Chain A
Amino acid sequence: MGRPEAPLVTRAQRAAACGLGLLVLAALLGPLLAADDPTAITDVVARRLVPPFGRDASGGWHLLGTDRFGRDILVRTLLAARVSLLVGLLGSVLAAVIGVCVGAGAAWLGGWVDRTLMSVADTFLAIPRLILLLLCVALWAPGFSTVIAVLAATGWMGIARLVRAEVLALRSAGFVEASRSLGAPSLRTLAAHVLPNATGPAVVATTLGVGNAVLMESGLAFLGLGVQPPAASWGNMIAGGRDLIVTAPWVALAPGLALILTVMLCTELGDGLSSPAASRGR
């Protein structure tokens, strides 16, 4: 009481958002600045495994060195950022859409629909996500769209629970009753009045989920079940550097650091979003 209200957007959170923005920008523009085609394998013998800050035999300079096929690691890391960020974003947003639909539907309809949907969610929550991911990926051919679909299919349960709780709390709110008594159709009340007020925690969970999805994708790629080479993702770049860890540790270093930075920024952003929202709720 009497304490100044926490600012809606904290400094750390703004910094995290800026960082993510820069990362996306670098991923979009970076590869365009590359001297030659970043996926092309040219003179392997002259250019392979150049250490960071080194020059290859033909005089090209590589800030982060090259991999075993002579491809520039900086360019490939930025190229991989496109794939990894897109997979993470699409995977978690799709999961959020499913979660919001299931959670809101369960709370709004109630009764056996609610009980069924929530027991399905609880069941999925009880299985370790990685095991579910592995099984589902084994079902289809591994690749870009498979990974996104599987991330969405295994990531919606937490958000469904959050949204359900919010919608249940809002069902008897004054403005919802008002909308109903004015004769608005049930679905319109849900979409126009309840959902906009119920999605706060879901937004936070989705932000955190992006980081988690990027991590999951990299894990699958490391096991050879994610995005397939020659397309670059951070996970398959690390996997490619695995047996070079003695002779050329920089191959696995750069994509790993990029991955850590991304997940950290998502966590920071999500935490920042959740704290003022939580304190406002009290």
Chain B
Amino acid sequence: MPSHLRRGVESVLLFGFVVTLTFVLAHLAPGDAADLLIPPTASPEDVARLRTALGLDASMLAQYVRWISQVLHGDLGVSFALGEPVRDLLARSLPITLALGAVSLTLTFVLGVSLGMWQARHAGGWRDRIASAATITVYAAPTFWLSLALVAVFTYIASRAGWPEAVRLPAMGWRDYRVEHAGLSGIRDLVRHAALPVLVLTAVGAAGLSRYARASAIALHREGWVRTARAKGADTRQVWGRHVLANARPTLIVLLALSLPGLVAGSVFVEGVFAWPGMGRLLLSSIGARDYPVLMGATLVYAAMVIVANWLADLGIAWADPRRRS
């Protein structure tokens, strides 16, 4: 079997396994949505009726089979807690998380790689040491704590000290309902709301990435072809920009794919603190409410994102490294 086909089959199996595992874990948990939805004074008959209505009275295997056949027919079910189709909930939350993630990932990559390369150029010097200390600190900080710290500075201290409006940022939500959403003012409002969440995700991601980029650039810089390039008369900028960066590309693509789970985890906290109505919040609330259809829908999306990212990374490596093309 050709290798990319085998990878594809493996990905599908992995996807099925992750989804099944989630289903089993969620259904093994004590208590279910019926206990949480119904008032404690309800009679046992009412609880039983609700459980039947939600389909929770069937065995786990029966529920699993029914859910799978539903999904294969393109139906993700209806949320227990909200009464809305899961598909609509996902369609509303996913773009928010994806946009937040895409912007943060791009900035993370640009900032992390530039910082790492810059540190590698000055490796061992004072600039490298200061940058290393800074990245280690940011990397060690919990995402939710950084978010709270930024809110303290850019919302409360800023408004108390009367800072200019450009650095006085909203602490919650993703848009102001008093502002017209169409046109320039809407965009400006969105950017202001997105500034702090994006800053947190970017800072944490870039701090981690720059450490790898630095190590890999230093290792590449010791290679023989760098000496050859220098001997040919290439100046420092050419060596770093063309030779080292070009050869670091496969490593960087792997790092990009590997940073995705971190971004997913980060988005759960960041959406929690900043009250963004994205996938992270949806997932958290569905776990809390034992809202199985939403939980499973969110898991499907998350698992698909991670698996597709890994698969794209494989393709990307082959594209970036001609030696591996065959």
Contacts and interface: CB of A to CB of B under 8 A. Distances in A.
Do A and B interact with each other, yes or no? Answer: yes
Interface stretch (A18-26, A101-109, A121-129): A121-129
Contacts of B30: 139
The 10 closest A-B pairs by CB, nearest first: A263-B140, A130-B265, A128-B261, A256-B145, A264-B140, A139-B29, A128-B264, A260-B140, A135-B25, A260-B141
B70 to A, nearest CB: 21
A171 to B, nearest CB: 26
Interface of A: 122-123, 126-131, 134-136, 138-139, 211, 215, 218-219, 222-223, 235, 238, 241-242, 245-246, 249, 252, 256, 259-264, 267-268
Given A136-B25, A245-B152, A256 B140 contact: no
B156 A246 contact: yes
A70 B15 CA distance: 50
A245 B306 contact: no
A262 B139 CA distance: 12
A130 B18 contact: no
B18 A264 contact: no
B3 to A, nearest CB: 16
Given A126-B307, A252-B145, A245 B156 contact: yes
A254 B302 CA distance: 34
B148 A129 contact: no
Interface string B119-162: 00000000000000000110111111100110110001000000
Contact of A135 (B22, B136, B151): B22
B25 A126 contact: no
Contact of A128 (B29, B156, B306): B306
B25 A139 contact: yes
Given A128-B302, A135-B25, 8 more contacts: A122-B14, A131-B265, A135-B22, A138-B287, A139-B25, A256-B149, A259-B141, A263-B141
Given A128-B306, A223-B272, A123 B140 contact: no
Contacts of B284: 134, 223
B269 interface: yes
B310 interface: yes
Q: Which of A129, A136, A245 has the most CB of B within 10 A?
A: A245
B321 to A, nearest CB: 22
A135 B302 CA distance: 13
Contact of A267 (B136, B156, B283, B287): B136
Contacts of A267: 136, 139-140
A168 B64 CA distance: 40
A131 B302 contact: yes
A15 to B, nearest CB: 13
A134 B283 contact: yes
Contacts of A245: 148, 151-152, 156
Given A127-B18, A127-B303, A135-B25, A222 B142 contact: yes
Contacts of A246: 152, 156
Contacts of B264: 128, 130-131
Interface in B20-43: 21-22, 25-26, 28-30
B288 to A, nearest CB: 8
Given A128-B302, A128-B306, A139-B25, A219 B17 contact: no
